[in-house]
């Protein structure tokens, strides 16, 4: 599939999830046995660690369908970038998705830090420092609503992955930024570029 076809397929799965019309593919013993020898996912997804955002479930996907990389707030560091590059170079995924979500605590902590000019102590500081540039850019556009900031974060990080992961550019992989809404169960596209 092309990167756009993959995104269309993921959105179709999300619509099934949001409307309780699940197909629940690739979740049986046959599929487990099929992927023992290797994986062939259709997309790599960088997402938040939030337990309310189970990536495979919200796209109505199954075992081996999506290569998921999760950190608080979807923070991208060298390990995450390397994981994306592995998915592109070794696994051959045609699409990379950065997925933010409604009510993200990590984004909320970064907003609080920026608004109060106070960087937190402890390891929370790690993800706050990674997310703060998205908050600052969102504020520069007059965006102060949490939904706007979460959408901006998804767009900015998708662009970051597109610009800074050499394999993504070299292979013309599609890149999408999206935001998941907890209230509706739907994923909304905020950025898309389907390769060269």
Q: Give the residue numbers of the binding site for Zn(2+).
A: 48, 50, 101, 104
Residue list for the binding site: 48, 50, 101, 104
Position of tokens 């550019």? 169
Question: What angle, 0 to 180 degrees and rounded to 10, lies between the N-to-C axes of helices 105-116 and 124-140?
Answer: 70
Q: What are phi and psi of 135, to 5 degrees?
A: -65, -45
SS3 25: coil
The rounded distance, in Å, linking the Cα atoms of 96 and 120 is: 31
What is the distance between the alpha carbons of residues 87 and 57, in angstroms, rounded to a whole number? 20
- Rounded to 5°, angle at Cα 59 from 4 and 179: 75
């Amino acid at each position: 599939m092309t990167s756009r076809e993959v995104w269309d397929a993921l959105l179709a799965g999300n619509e099934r999830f949001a409307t309780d019309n699940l197909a629940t593919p690739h979740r049986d013993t046959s599929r487990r046995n099929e992927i023992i020898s290797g994986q062939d996912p259709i997309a790599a997804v960088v997402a938040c660690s939030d337990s309310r955002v189970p990536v495979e479930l919200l796209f109505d996907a199954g075992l081996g369908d999506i290569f998921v990389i999760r950190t608080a707030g979807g923070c991208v560091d060298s390990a995450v970038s390397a994981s994306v590059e592995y998915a592109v170079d070794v696994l051959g995924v045609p699409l990379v998705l950065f997925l933010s979500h409604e009510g993200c605590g990590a984004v909320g902590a970064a907003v609080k830090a920026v608004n109060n000019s106070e960087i937190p102590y402890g390891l929370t500081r790690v993800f706050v420092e990674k997310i703060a540039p998205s908050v600052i850019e969102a504020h520069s556009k007059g965006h102060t609503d949490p939904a706007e900031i979460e959408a901006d974060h998804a767009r900015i990080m998708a662009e970051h992955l597109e610009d800074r992961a050499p394999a993504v550019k070299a292979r013309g992989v599609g890149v999408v930024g999206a935001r998941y809404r907890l209230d509706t169960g739907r994923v909304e596209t905020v950025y898309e570029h389907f390769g060269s």
